[in-house]
């Protein structure tokens, strides 16, 4: 409906206390079909989502589409980074929301906001997003922690889910909307999260640390050594 | 109107029991003008649509724009993959919806949802889509089974049809929304459909089969042979 | 407002009998700043618009932004292809709609639909489009007969004008919505128009003519000559 | 809400007399993470914004995100080009709008329109934009004077802020909507502003000046010299 | 050595009577790693090579790298299109030329020219090419019937094999150098070969046939029908 | 042989008095297969070559590959711009140099330098170039007045012809090496030639002329008009 | 000299028993300037080189350019993956080969082949490569384990080092030329090396393992579960 | 001749004591035709060359092609950054080397190495480079301080000048080969030179300085402030 659905005029942003995260079909076989961005970025972004859910205590539900077949196994890093996540096996339904156990698991979280990522984007991410909107949830679709076969397919899907009332997000925006402030004890862990989203951030941390060490230790420039 | 038109608040998804498919002007000459994606992808996607319509028993209507001239003949694979399709010859009308026989054929299907693809996108796909919305149909535009002269032209058209209330789809989303589940007897035929949409899927099937055969047959690695 | 403005629910398409065309600031200097597509495509598209306005008897109004300075002269092909066009000189106003003579010239056409293209897109095309919507016109913005400094700038502008209720069009869609049918005496001139929009069409016409001549004349293949 | 928020049907354009400019987190470290366009373009555009605010007497508020850490210092050109700007130090809040001093500074301007740019786009620009809309401001987001880690992230953010009622702008459109006319004494300074947005404009000015000098001075072509 | 090696001043072109073809490691798993072009183009080009070898009676030798493991099975189309090809199983050697049975099979052909393609390019194609040059063969490397992980890797490999005296070829050049003339009975089969190399050629054939049929049958333009 | 062949140490540049131009297979059908650059650029460059040959009195020989079939007719502009050109019909030979009449026509010019362009690059341009080198000619291959199916194919061909001793040229370099100086009576015609190679040059000429006229006529800036 | 220098006609390939590896200036600051490929690929490739040197017992020498300044610290993974590497501090010399301790360290290895990578490519990799060739070494330049500021700069450098007699390599080719065969006990470690060069290889390993496990364990497809 | 010409086996590197710099036709009009890279990068690189020549005391000769016409004036920054440069006016010769005063000026420097950049690359840079090689100079062509109309044209030219014995360089390599070491008093000026070649270097300097200041001044993180 081209407005953020189910917000009823309230600010369309994530409330960490009322959100759950759904990570759908991030599987080794399906990853080979990704063409809208390097699949390794999708992998890193999905892992970042799992990690930030853990940092915030967000419920996480995972599932996979027939992992015994060509779609391949769920990538292991997701549960490694979100050990509290619940895995729901489906029975062949393409739309995870068509699987009653999956919907039940979502309901069991008691949360009214869903952060959803899935491969492939137009199916595994979009179908549950549209269905969840219809069931009254506030839905945030993490488009770049999902992957699909072409940039054009991604753009079409972005248009479709926005039309359906889903709020589109990139992975960095999800992180920052959950983190809220650097004035917190786990700030260093959040900095690590960002290194998975924009890898240049790791270089910044390394260079910054070295520059301060040089100053602290009075280390001379190599070019000024005797 | 920037919301999915004619859904009246119901979920904007395809209902296989109430949908018909319109494949418009997929012609050899027009395909030469495609610049927003490789035309061979458009061709494969159009063929995939025809094939999935057959798997689901969806009515299909085809038409061509002056195929005796530079636009060239309809590509033969569409009717080969949808032998039940009805071809409607026009009398020069650019918008297929301006041709009374075409509209009559659509009405004759009794369906209220239309899945539309056409070359070129901004004309052969967009004009009938906008007209059908005005006539009360729920319309799904398959943007990447259509083709046009530039990526920018495709993006402009996507914006225009969404503004008009059309639901934008990629070819994979149409397939999955029609298939619904892998728990069906014709699952292998659907797997074949996907190999036409993301060709890597064929590699996955081949590699998966070989890996299982090696295990089943106790075949040794070549590198471990005596 | 994200719905086609001022249509009041009627179909958002061009009515050749009620439309005028505004071609704004297509100048040799400004063309050097175009970065979202090759400027020569913008030039060809603007010329195609002028030509189709002539074929349909559409009123055309042109203007230029300080052509005595670095922006350079209006390209001559526009008036060559639309000899009936009216040129309105401004007094430095960036938004043509801020110039009273320009608005008066538009009003004098008696038309309620405006087809607008201009360089640069986000300014010369977008500002008058938004202003005309506010004054009650139905506005069609021809995004790829306009040009701007980056693809991103074009995308931002597309989003802005759609949000404002403007209908986005590509040049081919304008042509086809004006032409309506190939069943007309000036069909060959329309075919020429398309060769300026997708140059491959010229190749199609050439190849088609040769293939028919070969058949008609019983010309042998060179490879089968004695 | 997919219409320009808080305009209540009035034309969604900048009113120089009622607008303030917020330049958020344009920092040397964060600039290294920019991947949607060359960071040097973002830098030039941000500087152009500062300069045009000065030309128009627009209030400017700047801020930075923990500039003592890897994010690095605010780039110096912003305050150099807008010496009247107010800098607000935050206490780690990621969303500048979460910092009470920042919001107070905005309120103190008495303006109801906000022109916002920030790095990274989906966070530093988008969060305050969405929050300001919720607080009743008319918000213009300058997408290409902001920067983020990928083109896709930029596109997602554009969709999100438009959905939220923000008006998307490119830097050139902001300049022209502020400048309004070339019929003003500071026209040459505005020409300089454009050279920072589309660098070809500098070439145009140089070539135009030389061509007029040659004519004025009766300078012969080198190729015609004896 | 940067001149075509082992030609001794003779023209560096393929002699169909003295050439053999080596198709190395075109495997479903390795194809997933291809990043310098769409893998489906590599697949089509390798198939085209097999087909043209059959048309010309060229000896073909195939091999695979540990197809029991992640590299996956040889794609079946190669032997389908070159039923006379000899498959040589290796024992883990990465460079096929390090496998004595492979080299023996090459020698057994009695040919002094080798047309080589392989995946991945810098290894499976380049290593045997360099080794064969050292053993006195004239080597033609078909770079775009090979595939590798990045465009840069392909460019580096092109430079390396040229430096080593290998003649670089694209697939179309191999076809034409083998076919030599359209004045031959199997000309239609060669036309089919080209449709796999530049798919637009299929469109040309279809359009050409239709245009001639229309002329032959006196078929009227749809737009001129009563 | 990776040095310019047959120059014997003399400077590898074009001598207008000793050069002939061969324009091979620039046909409407083959142009549809061009993928390394927009075919319309190839068309413009081929036309530019024809035009500059006329300006310099260079002999021109043209030919086509089975123009009665899908390859289509020779584009008409070549002979229009080089009315003195000789057309040689082949008998199906793919390499024009395999046709005795073609070689005879080349010999009849008495020139020892050949400027060659052809579509497709790796075949129609490369084969005659390599053959002509072997027959002792100094050969200049105009790579961007030729066209082929992919950028990679063009790069492979560039490497192959350089390895074979051909001098690679772009169209602009050919023009300038023929023109030599602006101090000549036909300088304006040469300026026109460049507008076909870099279309921005046309804008420069238009802007330069206008700027001088404004100065000459004392025309006021529109923005300074009363 | 455009032939592989110092090979004297022997095959230009790596001999693991006679090669040393030089990893030059892979520093966090310099990595920010990389524009010819994602810096994270350069980082992964450099790490892969270090790892393969360890697997083969190749001597490794590292160095950094003024790491106390903006160039930043050496990335830590190199010494982590090649614990036996020797670090040589320079005194500001840009060309590592200008530093006597560096050259002495190279000589001390007793190897005559050098595998060199460095950031930035045209300086830190190219200068020592050219100098080492002049001193009689056989040099292999790993172009994609180096990084520079633009793709064009990389291409220019590739041309320059090939002209100077350096053998250009991609990272995968170095790995395979060192590994030689899968018939070795450390084959799994080599497989891991490749996952850093073409990340899809990791997916292949995961999918292959899962497919074999499913077969081994008789695991049913989820879609066939009761 | 595909080896660095006129080096006679000596190392093909720049000797600052024996080199002169030729900056040819960097003009505002010609810059508009540049399509192989953003012209503003060419401008920055040309300025960097001028600056480094001044730092090293290298002779500089400039010239322009008919600056009174559409080619436009020489950009002023070159002489601003190399005040000691000599400007030579030509008489219409396209190849600067055809102008006797230009060659005389080169000879007058007494240098045997020439560092050459020019716009457009294939003409203004390539022609004098090839001519200078023929006259016995060692020539270094700075390809990315030159500009031309397409990436393909640049690649063709690179191949041509390498074939002719010219050493190809990027701008950074020239800087570093002239600078040689950071152990020199003007090191900060060289750092500034690099900010014009890879603008990220400016960010590195800014971030590095700030990080050291924070450490030196004991400045607290904003996020840790009370």
- For E76, name the nearest residue in chain B, comparing CA atoms only: B206
Bridge-based pairing of strands H167-169 and C167-169 is unpaired
The pLDDT score that the predictor gives to residue B1 is: 43
Using the beta-carbon criterion (under 8 Å), do A181 and H207 form an inter-chain contact?
Answer: no
Using the beta-carbon criterion (under 8 Å), do B206 and E90 form an inter-chain contact?
Answer: no
Q: Which two tokens stand for residue H43?
A: 């401008």
G67, G92, G206 ranked by CB distance to A28: nearest:
G206
Using the beta-carbon criterion (under 8 Å), do D91 and A36 form an inter-chain contact?
Answer: no
The pLDDT score that the predictor gives to residue C2 is: 64
Residues of chain C with a CB closer than 8 angstroms to some CB in chain B: 2-4, 11-13, 36-37, 41, 143-144, 151, 154-155, 158-159, 162, 167-173, 176-177, 179-184, 191, 197-198, 200-201, 203-205, 207-208
Mean pLDDT of F62-79: 97
The pLDDT score that the predictor gives to residue H2 is: 64
The pLDDT score that the predictor gives to residue H173 is: 98
> What distance separates the 2 farthest-apart alpha carbons in chain E?
74
Radius of gyration of chain H (CA): 19
Whether the pLDDT of residue G208 is over 60: the answer is yes
Segment holding H105, helix H or strand E: helix H100-108
Q: Which residues of B touch C205 (CB under 8 A)?
A: 70
Pairwise CA distance, residues C102 & C118, whole Å: 14
Using the beta-carbon criterion (under 8 Å), do F214 and D216 form an inter-chain contact?
Answer: no
Mean pLDDT of B158-172: 98
pLDDT category of residue B2 using cuts at 50, 70 and 90: low
- For G143, name the nearest residue in chain E, comparing CA atoms only: E156
DSSP string, C65-115: S-TTSTT-PBPTHHHHH-TTPEEEE-SSBSSGGGSHHHHHHHHHHT-SEEE
The pLDDT score that the predictor gives to residue G223 is: 94
The active-site residue out of E49, E96, E124, E143 is E124
The pLDDT score that the predictor gives to residue G177 is: 98
> What distance separates the 2 farthest-apart alpha carbons in chain B?
74
The pLDDT score that the predictor gives to residue D1 is: 44
Contact G153, G122 (CB under 8 A): yes
Which residues of G are catalytically annotated? 124
Q: Which residues of G touch E93 (CB under 8 A)?
A: 180-183
Which residue is associated with the tokens 């020199």? H184
Which residues of C are catalytically annotated? 124
pLDDT tens digits, B73-106: 999 999 999 999 999 999 999 999 999 999 999 9
Using the beta-carbon criterion (under 8 Å), do A204 and D127 form an inter-chain contact?
Answer: no
Neighbours of D53 (CB within 10 A): 25
Residues forming a β-bridge with H140: H115, H167
Intervals of chain A under pLDDT 70: 1-2
Choosing among E156, E166, E168, which should be mutated to test the G contact, i.e. which has the most G CBs within 10 A? E156
Which residue is associated with the tokens 């659905």? A5
Q: Which residues of H touch F212 (CB under 8 A)?
A: none
In this prediction, what percent of chain B has a pLDDT beyond 70? 99
Q: How many CA atoms lie within 13 A of F72 on its CB side?
A: 28
The active-site residue out of F20, F58, F103, F124 is F124
Is the Cα dihedral B195, B198, B200, B205 positive or negative? negative
> What are the residue ranges of helices labelled H in D68-186?
77-81, 100-109, 126-134, 151-163, 171-179
Cis-peptide into B120, omega within 30 deg: yes
Whether the pLDDT of residue D222 is over 60: the answer is yes
pLDDT tens digits, H93-124: 999 999 999 999 999 999 999 999 999 999 99
Whether the pLDDT of residue H33 is over 60: the answer is yes
pLDDT tens digits, C113-166: 999 999 999 999 999 999 999 999 999 999 999 999 999 999 999 999 999 999
The pLDDT score that the predictor gives to residue D225 is: 84
- For H158, name the nearest residue in chain F, comparing CA atoms only: F168
Q: Which two tokens stand for residue E133?
A: 């040059």
Mean pLDDT (chain C) is: 97
pLDDT tens digits, F184-221: 999 999 999 999 999 999 999 999 999 999 999 999 99
The pLDDT score that the predictor gives to residue B124 is: 98
Using the beta-carbon criterion (under 8 Å), do A170 and D122 form an inter-chain contact?
Answer: yes
**Smallest Cα distance from G57 to chain B, Å:** 23
Which residue is associated with the tokens 């503004």? B163
Using DSSP's 3-state secondary structure scheme, residue F169 falls into strand
The pLDDT score that the predictor gives to residue A1 is: 43
Residues forming a β-bridge with G105: none
pLDDT tens digits, G42-66: 999 999 999 999 999 999 999 999 9
Mean pLDDT of G31-38: 98
> What are the residue ranges of helices labelled H in chain F?
28-31, 39-56, 77-81, 100-109, 126-134, 151-163, 171-179, 187-197, 200-217
Residues of chain B with a CB closer than 8 angstroms to some CB in chain C: 1-2, 29, 32-33, 35, 65-66, 69-72, 91-95, 98, 120, 122-123, 126-127, 130-131, 134, 148-150, 152-153, 155-157, 159-160, 163-164
Contact F143, E159 (CB under 8 A): no
What are the backbone dihedrals phi and psi of residue B95, each rounded to the nearest 5 degrees, phi first? -80, 115
The pLDDT score that the predictor gives to residue E2 is: 64
Contact F154, F143 (CB under 8 A): yes
E70, E89, E223 ranked by CB distance to B222: nearest:
E89
Using the beta-carbon criterion (under 8 Å), do F212 and D207 form an inter-chain contact?
Answer: no
pLDDT category of residue D2 using cuts at 50, 70 and 90: low
Pairwise CA distance, residues D114 & D4, whole Å: 13
The pLDDT score that the predictor gives to residue B134 is: 97
E187, E216, E223 ranked by CB distance to C187: nearest:
E223
Using the beta-carbon criterion (under 8 Å), do C28 and F206 form an inter-chain contact?
Answer: yes
Q: Where are the beta strands (DSSP E) in chain H?
A: 19-24, 60-64, 86-89, 113-118, 138-142, 167-169
Residue H21 to residues D176, H47, H117, H174, Cα–Cα distance (Å): 42, 12, 8, 11
Residues forming a β-bridge with C63: C24, C88
pLDDT category of residue E1 using cuts at 50, 70 and 90: very low
The pLDDT score that the predictor gives to residue C1 is: 43
**Smallest Cα distance from E46 to chain C, Å:** 28
The pLDDT score that the predictor gives to residue F205 is: 97
Pairwise CA distance, residues A53 & E5, whole Å: 60
pLDDT tens digits, G101-154: 999 999 999 999 999 999 999 999 999 999 999 999 999 999 999 999 999 999
User: Mind listing the domains of chain H with CATH numbers?
Assistant: 19-183 (3.40.50.850), 189-221 (no CATH)
H181, H211, H224 ranked by CB distance to A212: nearest:
H211
Whether the pLDDT of residue H1 is over 60: the answer is no
Q: Which residues of E touch B92 (CB under 8 A)?
A: 221-224
Q: Do chains H and G touch (3 or more CB pairs under 8 A)?
A: yes
Q: Which residues of B touch E64 (CB under 8 A)?
A: 222
Q: Do chains C and B touch (3 or more CB pairs under 8 A)?
A: yes
């Amino acid at each position: 409906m081209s407005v953020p659905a189910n917000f009823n005029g309230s600010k369309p942003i994530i409330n960490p206390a009322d959100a759950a995260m759904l990570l759908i079909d991030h599987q080794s076989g399906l990853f080979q079909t990704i063409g809208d961005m390097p699949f390794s970025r999708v992998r890193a972004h999905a892992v970042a989502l799992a990690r930030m859910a853990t940092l915030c205590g967000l419920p996480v539900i995972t599932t996979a589409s027939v992992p015994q077949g060509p779609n391949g196994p769920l990538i292991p890093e997701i549960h490694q980074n979100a050990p509290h996540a619940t895995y729901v096996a489906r029975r062949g339904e393409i739309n995870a929301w068509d699987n009653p156990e999956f919907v039940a698991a979502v309901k069991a979280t008691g949360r009214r906001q869903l952060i959803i990522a899935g491969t492939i984007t137009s199916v595994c991410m979009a179908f549950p997003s549209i269905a969840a909107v219809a069931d009254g949830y506030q839905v945030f679709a993490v488009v770049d922690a999902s992957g699909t076969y072409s940039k054009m397919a991604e753009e079409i899907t972005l248009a479709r889910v926005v039309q359906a009332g889903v709020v589109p997000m990139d992975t960095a925006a999800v992180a920052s909307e959950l983190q809220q402030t650097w004035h917190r004890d786990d700030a260093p862990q959040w900095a690590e999260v960002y290194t998975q989203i924009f890898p240049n951030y790791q270089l910044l941390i390394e260079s910054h640390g070295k520059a301060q060490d040089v100053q602290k230790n009075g280390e001379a420039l190599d070019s000024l050594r005797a």
